[in-house]
Amino acid sequence: MPSHEIAARVLDGKWVRDQIFSELKPRIANLGAKYRPPGLAVILVGHDPGSEIYVRLKVKTCDELGIYHELIRPTETVATGELLGIIEGLNQRDEIDGILVQTPLPPQVDKGEVLRAMDPGKDADGFHPLNVGALVENIPGPRACTPQGIMEMLRRYDIAIAGRRAVVVGRSDIVGKPMALLLLHANATVTICHSHTSNLAEETRRADILVAAIGRAGLLTREHIKPGATIIDVGMNRRPDGKVVGDVNPDDAKALASAYTPVPGGVGPLTIAMLMANTVEIAEHRLGFA
C-alpha cells in the first residue's frame, strides 16, 4: 500500500478546547452578572485512579472558568437507594444546573437506575434515556461529551462530513453509539464495527473518517486505514511502562492519514470542554437566557 504523500495534519484537541473555553467565558460572566454562575455537581464514589484524575481536572476547570461546583463523595459501600436520595436532592436545588455521576460505579450500585433518577434537564453527560432519545430524534438536549467534542473538532478544522463514509469502531453507550448518530445527522454514511465484526480491516479501509473507540492498544494498523482518511483515536490505553497509547498505531496513522488525533492531546481535552459547554447551556436554558 503506498504511503500518503502529504504530511498528515495533527488535530490538536487543546487548541479546540481553548477555543471553546474562550467562547464560554463571556457567557458564564453574563450569567453571573445577571443572576448567578452555572452550577455543576459531581458525584464520585470510591477511589478509582482514573476517576480521581478526571474529577480533579473537572473541578480545576470549573474554577478556571468561574463555574460553581460541588464534589460529593459517598462512601465506597453506598447502596443504590442512598445514591438515589443524593441525586433527588440535587434535582431539587435551583443553584445546581448540571449533575454528573462519575463512572465506573461500585458493583453493588445499579448504574441504570442511578442514571434514570437524574432530572434529564440537569444531565450534564447526556446519558439519560430521554436525552439519548433526543439524540436519536436529532432534537435539542445535552449530548454525550466525547462524541460532541469530536464533532466540534471536525467542524473547527473544516473537515467535511456530509456525503463521506464514516466507520466507528466500538459500540459503547458513551462514545460509539452517540458518535455514529451524530455523524449520521451530519449526513455521513455510517458503519459501526465491534468485537464481532468479521473482517474488520475490510470495513475500516472504506472509511473517509475513522473513529477508533474500542479500547485496545494499537489494534488498528496500516491494513485498516484508507490513504487520506481522517483518523479520530478515542483510545486511552495505559501500557505496562505507564505510557498512554491509542487504539490506532500512531506511525501508521501519520504515514497514511490526511489528518489524525494524537494520543494523548487529541480527543481527551474535548471531553471536559464539552462537559463545561453542556453545563453552561443547561444553565442558560434554566435561567431563560437561551
- What are 51-86's pLDDT values in tens digits? 999 999 999 999 999 999 999 999 999 999 999 999
Bridge partner list, 167: 191, 210
Active-site hit among 102, 123, 148, 226: 102
pLDDT tens track for 209-251: 999 999 999 999 999 999 999 999 999 998 899 899 999 999 9
Whole-number Cα distances in Å, 289 to 57, 68, 97, 201, 285 = 27, 18, 13, 48, 6
Q: Please report the DSSP string for 54-84 in residue order.
A: HHHHHHHHHHHHT-EEEEE---TT--HHHHH
Residue 100, φ and ψ in degrees, nearest 5: -130, 125
Class of domain 36-119: alpha beta
Threshold 0.85, pTM exceeds? yes
Q: Which regions of the chain carry the CATH code 3.40.50.720?
A: 145-269
In this predicted structure, the answer to whether residue 1 has a pLDDT above a threshold of 90 is: no
Q: Which of 97, 123, 125, 252 is catalytic?
A: 125
CATH 3.40.50.10860 domain extents, the chain: 36-119
Please state, in angstroms and rounded to a whole number, the distance separating the CA atoms of residues 261 and 233.
Answer: 6
Told to judge if 19 belongs to the known catalytic residues of this protein, a careful annotator would answer no
Superfamily of domain 145-269: NAD(P)-binding Rossmann-like Domain (3.40.50.720)
Phi, psi (deg, nearest 5) at residue 66: 90, 25
Is there a catalytic annotation at residue 58? yes
